[in-house]
Amino acid sequence: MSDSNPPGQFSLNAEQHAIRDLALSFATGQLAPHALRWDRDKYFPRDVIRSSAALGFGGVCVAEDVGGSALSRLEGVLIYDSLATACPCIAGYFSVHNMVASVIDRFGTEQQRKQWLPRMCRFDLLGAYCLSEPSSGSDAAALSTRAVHDGGAYVLNGVKQFISGAGDADVYIVMARTGAPGPRGISAFIVEKGTEGLTFGPVEKKMGWNAQATRQVILEDVRVPAENLLGVEGTGFRIALSALDGGRLNIAACSLGGARTALGKAAAYLKERIAFGHPLAEFQALQFRLADMITELEVAQTFLWRAASALDAKESNAPILCAMAKRFVTDAGFDIANQALQLFGGYGYLTDYGIEKIVRDLRVHQILEGTNEIMRVIIARNLLDPR
């Protein structure tokens, strides 16, 4: 594990440059040539994902004793940003899988860590994170899925909504109510695919993120061993929030990478496209737009690296910085991609150029891992009542 840069220092060391280059090489060679086809065919490339295990992408922030790469949050951001330059959708699944693995690594017992993490780090097992429900998305503390202690097991009943990778994943972190209403009555469980009573809803038809399935996870008298409880009863909501700090950084990084590619495509197109006898790049109005886009991209990257460094340093304000970064970077990323589409004119609306796919993929980043409206609530509450 390399030493991360201290908060406020925003240049990369040699090892971090190498990590980013490795991820960019994989993205360019293994993801980019197929991304449009995977989107069109709604194909989940499990074989390609598994091939990245040798690069350490199956357990980015997981400890080395169970096969992880033990990288910092900042180094993880570099990986997801790089992967998203080729396909924000698949980069997003890398983030989800690694969030699940990190939860087990941080909060699991030694038995749990050794049982699941080596296979997750090899991508032999894929992970999914089950928090949202049909009637409790943003208000996650109001979830109604229940887990009843029954002898040496827990019996789970409920429905989880908008679960990325559902059906394809093998290991599910499920938040369920074991106690009274509110956040202190929630616990976290590891549920394996194939457990009796665990089924999945139909694949949702979506605007974007088509290369990974989004489905309901349905639990009907799902009996899991008591040793599959993560932590102790009543700590599930704290585990969920802790996991979302990293998840928000990662999804912001995916927005950054997608926007980076969209901007690059737009700049190249303006230099090639002739209108009124001149390349579009010679028109000052369009130059100004590009200048604003690259400035927004740089600001977004700088703040994302700041938030990631704060989480690595365990600063007390790190969760707020993660919320800020998620809000700002995903908004900026979508706006940059959307402007890039506009610069392409009618060609940007065609699937051939890949711009419309980036716009569709990045739009959901403003919703998942906590909507950007909820990020504003978190930020404002901290300002008004910082206790």
Tokens encoding 157: 């009943």
Residue 2: name the closest of 15, 17, 20 by CA.
15
Sign of the alpha-carbon dihedral angle for 118, 119, 123, 129: negative
Three-state DSSP state, 135: coil
- Dihedral of the alpha carbons of 84, 370, 138, 220, in degrees to the nearest 10: 50
Please indicate whether residue 282 is annotated as part of the active site: no
Q: CA 360 to CA 363: how far, in whole Å?
A: 5
With a CB cutoff of 8 Å and minimum separation 6, the contacts of 345 are none
Three-state DSSP state, 200: strand
Sign of the alpha-carbon dihedral angle for 310, 316, 318, 324: negative
Q: CA 72 to CA 16: how far, in whole Å?
A: 10
Query: Which of 196, 204, 369, 373 does the annotation list as catalytic?
Result: 369
Tokens encoding 190: 């590891």
Q: CA 128 to CA 310: how far, in whole Å?
A: 26
- Dihedral of the alpha carbons of 12, 13, 16, 20, in degrees to the nearest 10: 50
Query: Active-site positions?
Result: 369
